[in-house]
Amino acid sequence: MRVIEVLAPGLLTTVQDLGREGFGPLGVSPSGAADPIALRIGNRLVGNAESAAALEMTLLGGTFLFPEGALAALTGSDFGAALDGAELPQWTSFEVQPGQTLRLGPTRSGARCYLCTQGGIVVKPFLGSASTHLLSGLGGYEGRALRKGDVLKMGPGIPACSPYSNRGFSTNRSQKVTPKIQERLLPRKVLRVTTGPQSAWFSQAAEKVLYGGTYHVSEEANRMGLRLHGPPLPEGAHGGMISEGVSLGAVQIASGGMPIILFVEQQTTGGYAKMANVISADLSSVGQLRPRDVIRFERVTFETARKLWMEQEKLLASKDLIVETTGDVVRS
């Protein structure tokens, strides 16, 4: 089995796939990639199923040795990757020769970069998923962020008889994302939201603050949630809130009137009022937000949210999303 040796883990690197849905009754949130669009595309670039497990790096990337080589792609934010010293393009598959070292640095754009390799990362699944759930120490590689010296196994590559092998995934061609489509999938700083289940508890004045002002992402921003700083929201007029199920991307108003966006490793239930909810089409953008980023909320209807989601999925399913580059595979 081919492996990846972790020479340096980076700031916070975990194994993630598209997460585990369906275990809310056990209190288990889905987890999974913070930027699922980047993961899905990265997997397709190397000929994997969209849901294969890959490495999610946060703000500062790691250094990885490939003793037996690999077919790989980097998607999401640009972490200034270099293969044995030669710079690599994002959103393009590349071949790693046996013994080569991939080094990533600090981010040049958003919060997260994905390293996808052909065959995916193989770990013992927990509730059907390879995703790491950091808070409970479950899933992924020993339930934790990677450390120096960890050795990750990669799954078998695409067999020669697979349709993929005729489409250039073998060795001699590289795949890249069509720039035009990629542009339309770029992370947004204006997050579109629908109203939340307790919207009615908040006054028009509070709405004016939430939708009129700008907020910046605090240092307390992780896979569980992102605490925002900005103009405080006048407290909603309501009785006591009873804990209830919370949805991904919920904008809950904590004491002090500051919004928190609940994210992929969210608690499954909570007792704060939710004034809005980030639309599904913009959840990947949340995964690319860094501390100090300035964001704004824009309210849309449920119908618009649904339309935007459908459009995004159509783009992701489009045959033109990935094209073969004319030259050889990027080599160092």
Partner 1 sequence: MTAGQRYTFADMPTNKSVTARFARASDQSLLIYFGEQITLEANERVRRLVHLLEQEPVAGVRNLHPAYCSLLVKFEAFEWRHEQLERQLRKYIGRLSKVKMPEPRLMEIPVCYGGEFGPDLDEVAAMHGLTPERVIELHTSATYLVYFLGFVPGFAYLGELARELVTPRLPSPRRKVPAGSVGIAGNQTGVYPFETPGGWRLLGRSPLEMFRIDRDGLSLLSIGDRVRFVPVSRERFTELQRT
Among 246, 273, 295, 322, binds partner 1 (CB under 8 A): 246
Does 269 interact with partner 1 (rule: CB under 8 A)? yes
Stretch that binds partner 1, among 10-18, 102-110, 188-196, 210-218 (CB under 8 A): 188-196
Does 26 interact with partner 1 (rule: CB under 8 A)? yes
Stretch that binds partner 1, among 16-24, 39-47, 212-220, 287-295 (CB under 8 A): 16-24
Does 279 interact with partner 1 (rule: CB under 8 A)? yes
Name the residue nearer to partner 1 (CB basis): 217 or 250.
Answer: 250
Stretch that binds partner 1, among 33-41, 77-85, 265-273, 315-323 (CB under 8 A): 265-273
Among 109, 247, 325, 332, binds partner 1 (CB under 8 A): 247
Name the residue nearer to partner 1 (CB basis): 138 or 221.
Answer: 138
Measured distance CA(174)–CA(168) in Å, rounded = 7
* Ramachandran bin of 91, using left for φ above 0, alpha for ψ from -120 to 50, beta for the remaining angles: left
Name the residue nearer to partner 1 (CB basis): 208 or 238.
Answer: 238
Residues 6+ apart with CB under 8 A from 144: 14, 132, 134, 137
**Helices vs. strands in the chain: H and E counts, helices first:** 5, 23
Does 310 interact with partner 1 (rule: CB under 8 A)? yes
Does 316 interact with partner 1 (rule: CB under 8 A)? no
Residues 6+ apart with CB under 8 A from 42: 54, 73, 74, 75, 76, 114, 115, 116
Shortest CB 315 distance to partner 1, Å = 15
Shortest CB 284 distance to partner 1, Å = 14
Does 128 interact with partner 1 (rule: CB under 8 A)? no
Nearest residue to 157 (alpha-carbon basis) of 217, 76, 71: 71
DSSP per-residue string spanning 244-308: EE--TTEEEE-TTS-EEEE-TT--SEE-SEEEEEE-GGGHHHHTT--TT-EEEEEE--HHHHHHH
For the four alpha carbons of 91, 262, 247 and 201, in that order, the dihedral sign comes to negative
Does 302 interact with partner 1 (rule: CB under 8 A)? yes
Number of residues that bind partner 1 (CB under 8 A): 44
Among 109, 136, 178, 218, binds partner 1 (CB under 8 A): 136
Does 110 interact with partner 1 (rule: CB under 8 A)? no
Whether 292 contacts 216, CB under 8 Å: yes
Shortest CB 2 distance to partner 1, Å = 27
Does 245 interact with partner 1 (rule: CB under 8 A)? yes
Measured distance CA(40)–CA(18) in Å, rounded = 8
Nearest residue to 44 (alpha-carbon basis) of 140, 141, 154, 120: 120
Shortest CB 250 distance to partner 1, Å = 7
Shortest CB 20 distance to partner 1, Å = 9
Residues 6+ apart with CB under 8 A from 180: none
Does 248 interact with partner 1 (rule: CB under 8 A)? yes
Residue 67 tokens, joined:
């003793």
Among 63, 170, 203, 268, binds partner 1 (CB under 8 A): 268
Whether 320 contacts 178, CB under 8 Å: yes
Measured distance CA(50)–CA(42) in Å, rounded = 8
Q: By the criterion CB under 8 A, which residues form the site for partner 1?
A: 21-28, 30, 126-127, 133, 135-138, 194-197, 242-250, 267-270, 274, 277-280, 302, 305-306, 309-310, 313
